[in-house]
């Protein structure tokens, strides 16, 4: 299953983002919230943003594959999703709004492509079956 590759990459990103948060919490001795430290605020936002988008996107990617989408379509959507997350991370880390916007746009494009592909390949005869 091709979608498993992108699930693994997404999980690795989340692990990296979580380690960043833990490191900064330890460094600034903050156990709850951000303590007013901008670096920790950014790390928390990066982690939260990934948690907001990755689970739904990976489910859509898996459904795409299960519904019979072509393998290259799954790769395009998966690459766009992971690239978007990495670009947004880079933008947050280096305070580059253009990278953040591009990463967000790539993520939204991936989500929209996955939704449309799932609608196209949906087994409608089963969806509206009365059996």
Q: Rounded to the nearest 5 degrees, what angle is found at the Cα of 64, between the Cα atoms of 60 and 67?
A: 130
**What is the predicted pLDDT for the residue at 131?**
72
Alpha-carbon 41 to chain mean position? 19
pLDDT higher than 90, residue 52: yes
- State the chain's mean pLDDT as an integer: 94
User: How large is the C-alpha radius of gyration of the chain?
Assistant: 17
Q: What percent of the chain has pLDDT over 70?
A: 100
Distances (CA, A) of 9 to 82, 92, 93: 7, 19, 19
Total residues belonging to the chain: 131
- Averaged pLDDT for residues 39-62: 94
Which band of pLDDT confidence, cut at 50, 70 and 90, is reported for residue 36? confident
Q: In the chain, what are the domains?
A: 2-127 (1.20.120.550)
CB 2 within 8 A of CB 65: yes
With residue 59 as reference, give the H or E element that holds it.
helix 38-66
Looking at the predicted structure, is the pLDDT value of residue 91 above 90? yes
């Amino acid at each position: 299953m091709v979608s498993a590759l992108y699930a693994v990459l997404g999980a690795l990103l989340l692990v990296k983002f979580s380690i960043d948060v833990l490191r900064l919490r330890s460094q600034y001795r903050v156990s709850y919230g951000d303590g007013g430290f901008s670096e920790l605020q950014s790390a928390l936002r990066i982690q939260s943003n990934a948690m907001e988008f990755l689970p739904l996107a990976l489910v859509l990617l898996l459904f795409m594959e299960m519904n019979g989408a072509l393998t290259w379509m799954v790769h395009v959507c998966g690459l766009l999703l992971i690239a978007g997350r990495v670009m947004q991370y880079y933008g947050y880390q280096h305070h580059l709004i253009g990278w953040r916007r591009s990463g967000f746009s790539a993520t939204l494009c991936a989500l929209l492509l996955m939704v449309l592909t799932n609608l196209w390949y949906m087994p409608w005869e089963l969806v509206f079956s009365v059996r």
